[in-house]
Amino acid sequence: MADNANRERSLLRFANDCEDAAAGLHRFRDALPRNATRITGVVGELFGISSALRQIHTGEGTRSYGPSFYRIDNDLQLVFRSLQCTVDDIFDMFARAHERPEQTVWEDMSHQHERVEKFGLLERLEWYREFLDAQFDILEGRQIADPDDLRDSITDLLEAQQKARRRASRQSMPVPEIDYSGASTPRPRPRRISRPTMPPRINTPSTPTVVSDMSWDHGWNQTARPYAPEPPVPPLMFPPTPGSPMSPLSPVFSNFTSSSSQTASSHTSYSTPDPYAPSALVHWADDIFDGQHPNTQYRQDYQLSDRATCYGQADPYALDHLSRDGFRKVLELPFDERKLWVQLYWRPNDFRARLLIMSQNSSGVQQHCCQPLTALKIIRRGSTLQLCQASKDSGRYKLWARLNFMLHERMVLFYSTFIAMKHQDKRGIPHPSLADDFELETDEGEKVFFAGQMQHDDMLHALRVFRDRGSGVVRLEVSALRGPRKHVPIWTAFVTKYADAGDPDWCQWEGNGIVSLAAVKPAPPYVFVSRFQPPKHGRNWILPFTTDEGG
């Protein structure tokens, strides 16, 4: 079991490392136009390797593939050892780029690969991807030619990498020692903090219940809370973005009668009657970044080059305060080649939520900035999410932090998790300017091209289908139809490959307002409410529209 756990961690860790390396090289491509074509190929191969690793990871725990992993264990270890060296070379190049020109460090790495080790970067990445694809074919039991040639090539590459490192060690050059057990190799950036072994999962006591529109969580917003102190004014200030109008929904919902709205609640309650949550609770957000989502890059002309940055005031006691006050980390995400980390924290007894950003200052010293989620508003600009504080006096927003994403699915999952946790906080939103209104939907971002009404048990929900202009991603999102949380996502599902391919079988009309979604099977949608499951019929997820016209 320990070997399986190490292998699972390694698969996801290497997938994340490849994506981080691709994100950094994206900036190199803009700075090195002479090498842009080759760097574009390298970025594509890194994402291909990440996708192959995640595909293998998905099969790890299944009954179909799990028992067959012994067939590929040795080959996976071979790939891991060589891939570790290659990814380390890329990250070391990023670190040197802070002191030397991009062209210089790129040529230095190319010289090391092509002249010293005799294997170019693009060539070795193609081998990794093809070899990993072959491993998944073996898991599936396909009759394929034995990948001896690829295995021999990667073995020769690894020997050349190890020989180069031994030579560098004899010359007293600082070369990181490689750990193949799944722990991160030391690098000049904040290290990933290994998640401790989690206790057995038990359901957080927040079962969705049905209450009236008048009484729904009314006490959460009854008392205005003291507004969080504002940090020093950052370099960027911009006026508030007006909320996205709900006009796309109006034609769809205009024929609903008052009697229909009285038969069911139009929202889902996230509250819990039990303030004394057991210490072993596991938050629903722990399942969100599971590595199984698609990975769709933004178009090159849409991707911004801005670095992830925090403008907040550093608090050296932030971690101590989080621990002292009973907060628990539920997720963490790296940005900017792991130079900046975002962590979300949650307190079980009152669902208070905090966001912690770990970064390094100009002297290389790690610093922490922390804010309640209820004191921040997200505004999307291109491939970035701007985390802003609101000024009560001027009505303007002050930029507290900026996060730049390479993949739209990651932006969606982070945004949805942030918004859901923010509105599940029992203290409520302290200022109207911090309210949220479908912030991913912008003139150049997501656009609603379908909206309809569904009924799940006694709850009325709104279904929206979004297409993102910057990436082409198509997704479903369900939220409460009415009430103070009508803009808070309950669940989302990515269906891009089915919508773009025009697959007629990915959804099916079942009659009586029911549409089944074969596309979302077997992976469930991403759910942002504890103990909530989207409606199902048999093995398929379904969309129970209130009218045949909606389906």
Q: Are residues 166 and 224 in the same domain?
A: no
Flag whether 247 is in a domain: no
Per-residue confidence (pLDDT) for residue 381, from 0 to 100: 95
Q: Are residues 121 and 269 in the same domain?
A: no
Does 55 score more than 70 pLDDT?
yes
Q: Are residues 383 and 237 in the same domain?
A: yes
Flag whether 495 is in a domain: yes
Residue 488's domain comprises 218-241+258-544
Flag whether 197 is in a domain: no
Q: Are residues 152 and 299 in the same domain?
A: no
Give the residues across from 357 on adjacent strands: 342, 369
Residue with tokens 């594509």: 44
Q: What average pLDDT does the segment 181-206 reach?
A: 34
Q: What average pLDDT does the segment 508-537 reach?
A: 63
Does 488 score more than 80 pLDDT?
yes
Q: Are residues 348 and 477 in the same domain?
A: yes
Per-residue confidence (pLDDT) for residue 421, from 0 to 100: 95
* Residue 261, token pair as written in the block: 């709205």
Nearest Cα to Cα of residue 355 among 346, 365, 367:
346
What percentage of the chain has pLDDT greater than the value 70?
A: 68
Flag whether 506 is in a domain: yes
Q: Are residues 150 and 223 in the same domain?
A: no
Q: Are residues 153 and 277 in the same domain?
A: no
What percentage of the chain has pLDDT greater than the value 90?
A: 29
Q: Are residues 166 and 229 in the same domain?
A: no
* Residue 219, token pair as written in the block: 């006490």
Residues 368, 314 contacting (CB under 8 angstroms)? yes
Does 383 score more than 50 pLDDT?
yes
State the pLDDT confidence band at 255, using cuts at 50, 70 and 90: very low
Q: Distance between CA 271 and CA 330 in Å, rounded? A: 18
Q: Distance between CA 462 and CA 478 in Å, rounded? A: 6
Tens of pLDDT along 440-483?
Answer: 999 899 999 888 888 776 778 888 889 999 999 989 898 888 87
Flag whether 208 is in a domain: no
Flag whether 376 is in a domain: yes
Per-residue confidence (pLDDT) for residue 348, from 0 to 100: 87
State the pLDDT confidence band at 377, using cuts at 50, 70 and 90: very high
Q: What average pLDDT does the segment 405-429 reach?
A: 93
Please say which residue of 170, 193, 228 terminates a domain: 170
Helix (H/G/I), strand (E/B), else coil: 550: coil
Helix (H/G/I), strand (E/B), else coil: 443: coil
In angstroms, what CA-CA distances link 178 with 43, 172, 459? 23, 17, 53
Nearest Cα to Cα of residue 349 among 247, 265, 399, 281:
281
Mean of all residue pLDDT scores within the chain: 74
Compute CA 135 distance to the chain's CA centroid, rounded to the nearest angstrom. Answer: 26
Nearest Cα to Cα of residue 523 among 510, 509, 534:
534
The CATH number of residue 112's host domain is 1.20.1410
**Order of strands across the sheet with 459-468?**
446-456, 459-468, 474-480, 489-494, 526-527
Flag whether 451 is in a domain: yes
451 vs 502, higher pLDDT:
451
Does 521 score more than 80 pLDDT?
no
Q: Are residues 147 and 226 in the same domain?
A: no
Q: Distance between CA 281 and CA 21 in Å, rounded? A: 34
Q: How many domains, the chain?
A: 2
Q: Distance between CA 91 and CA 435 in Å, rounded? A: 39
Please say which residue of 151, 170, 189 terminates a domain: 170
Q: Are residues 343 and 477 in the same domain?
A: yes
* Residue 246, token pair as written in the block: 């709900």
Per-residue confidence (pLDDT) for residue 460, from 0 to 100: 84
Does 511 score more than 60 pLDDT?
no
* Angle value at C-alpha 316, between 310 and 319, nearest 5 degrees: 90
Per-residue confidence (pLDDT) for residue 368, from 0 to 100: 94
Least confident of 237-246, 382-391, 419-428: 237-246
Question: How many residues does the structure list for the chain?
Answer: 551
Q: Are residues 326 and 475 in the same domain?
A: yes
Listed in sequence order, the residues at least 6 apart from 537 whose beta carbon sits closer than 8 Å to its beta carbon are 510, 514, 516
Q: Are residues 308 and 413 in the same domain?
A: yes
Q: What average pLDDT does the segment 90-97 reach?
A: 89
Please say which residue of 170, 195, 227 terminates a domain: 170
* Angle value at C-alpha 338, between 186 and 178, nearest 5 degrees: 20
Flag whether 493 is in a domain: yes
